[in-house]
Chains A and B, each alone.
Chain A
Amino acid sequence: MLTVQHLTSGYGSAKILNGVNLDLGSKEVVAILGRNGVGKTTLLKTVMGIVATQSGTTELKGQNITKLPTHDIAKAGIGYVPQGRGIFDKLSVKENLRMGLRSRPDGSDEIPEYIYEKFPILLERSGQLAGTLSGGQKQQLAISRALCGDPKLLLLDEPSEGIQPNIVQEIGSFVRELVERRDISVLIVEQNLELIGLAADRFEIMVKGELVHRGLTSELNNEEMLKEYLSV
């Protein structure tokens, strides 16, 4: 699905990613773990074309998307939910979802039925300004908006940030459901081990802009490994 090879990127002369290699299969959920500032968010932004790639390649289903502008990467089939969610606060809930439709390959103008079935609050609050939603509702909106584009790959940056534990669980099981039912792969940057346990098949650990350790989610109870890579 997604193949990243020797990817480097950064801001100006400051290099953040130092040669990332990553292979994400179809219907696979991979979590990226790591301390703050190691480059997890930059990896997602580089894949999305928001931060320019300096060297290396990114392929989506065999298509080289390394040099594409962000809007074409979205159309190639990647949905991105950034840290802080990137909701258009001054647009209504429905208008946010309609923006999500822009990248659909089939050009449909209809918000997919299953989204309102899963999150009925988005239909109830349809005409309300998105900025007035609670943190959890905004996260539901942000993920739903990304799904409106019918992506093959979903990039989630810290979806658990600032939301209640029960919604964290709901999002975790929803990610699983998406993979099973809608044939989507997910790359997720996350600190919350509970969410990773619920949603991910495996994890990769990032240190100083490189992925240095990988494992199955079941290995996440290995205290020593967690201590080595994640404790402050």
Chain B
Amino acid sequence: MEALIPFSLNALTLISILLMVSMGMAIIFGLMNVINLAHGEFITIGAFTLVVVQGLGGNFWLALIAAPIVGYIIGLALEKALIARIYENPLHAILVTWGLSLILQQVIQLIFGASPQSITGPFPGSIDILGVAYPAYRLFLIAFALATFAATILVFKKTKFGLDLRASIQSSEMASVMGVNPDKINARAFASGAALAALAGVLLAPLTAVTAYMGINYLARSFFVVLVGGAGSISGVAAGSGLIGSLETALSYEIPTTVAQALVLALAIVILRFRPQGILPA
């Protein structure tokens, strides 16, 4: 019983991280069918926003507000300059976003150097949960991810932008027949996805080594979360994160983490073989 609490909390931490890094990708992939291979770099951009903000004397909370704004602006600029030109051809999209990913990594490394950055998280201590001490920051991360997830669902279900987005995901042509400008929706959706990734980057930073390459770790996993969960569906992201996060945590107790990750991805492929539309498709 005692062992179950840290296990569940560890699983929840990983699920929350996957939720945060995958929501943006789900929106972009679901709407535009673009596999954004630069998604990981928006996570990195978020983490480096924290580095810069703390370097300038600001705190973690300021970075938590600044990162999604920085992510949104960079995402919007890149969508207008590059991504908007390649929607027609998914293969071009893969090549262009991959190239973009390499360029962003190198630019970040040129500016900040190769060694891991030092940042400070907001909660250093632990909290006692049913007799088990657990890092306070991880508990915060779980709560924050759930809140962000709930807010994203609210935006999807209750706002004009959310309705336009859901309609466009189902049929971009019919949405434009209704009077929705597809270019605008695509740009805002891509930028929102980038903003969510940057927010995830700030949250991740205190738990990992902040380097120019940190985003790569999350690219493949968030892609599998989206595919297993069902493209273009926010509830699918929850299902995908839940499945992949809990499996990976469970397996990591018995076998090395890297092997566990590989096994989970192999399982994801098996699931997609039998349910190609994902668990909860849009």
Q: Which residues of A contact B (CB under 8 A)?
A: 48, 50, 69-71, 74-75, 80, 82, 86, 88-91, 95, 98-100, 102-103, 145, 149
Contacts and interface: CB of A to CB of B under 8 A. Distances in A.
Contacts of A71: 176-182
Given A74-B179, A99-B163, A90 B282 contact: yes
Most chain A CB within 10 A, of B163, B174, B178, B282, is at B178
B173 A99 contact: no
Given A71-B181, A91-B167, A99 B175 contact: yes
A167 B31 CA distance: 35
B178 A95 contact: no
B170 A88 contact: yes
Contacts of B166: 88, 90-91, 95
A102 B178 contact: yes
Contacts of B181: 69, 71
Contacts of B178: 71, 74, 99-100, 102-103, 145, 149
Contact of B176 (A74, A98, A149): A74
Interface of B: 163-164, 166-167, 170-171, 173-182, 282
B158 to A, nearest CB: 11
A58 to B, nearest CB: 16
Given A71-B182, A90-B282, A50 B167 contact: no
25 contacts: A48-B177, A50-B173, A69-B176, A69-B181, A70-B176, A71-B178, A74-B176, A74-B178, A82-B174, A88-B166, A88-B170, A88-B171, A88-B174, A95-B163, A95-B166, A98-B163, A99-B163, A99-B164, A99-B175, A100-B178, A102-B178, A102-B179, A102-B180, A103-B179, A145-B178
Given A88-B166, A99-B164, 19 more contacts: A48-B177, A50-B177, A69-B176, A69-B181, A70-B177, A71-B178, A86-B171, A86-B173, A90-B170, A91-B163, A91-B167, A95-B163, A95-B166, A99-B178, A99-B180, A102-B164, A102-B178, A102-B179, A149-B178
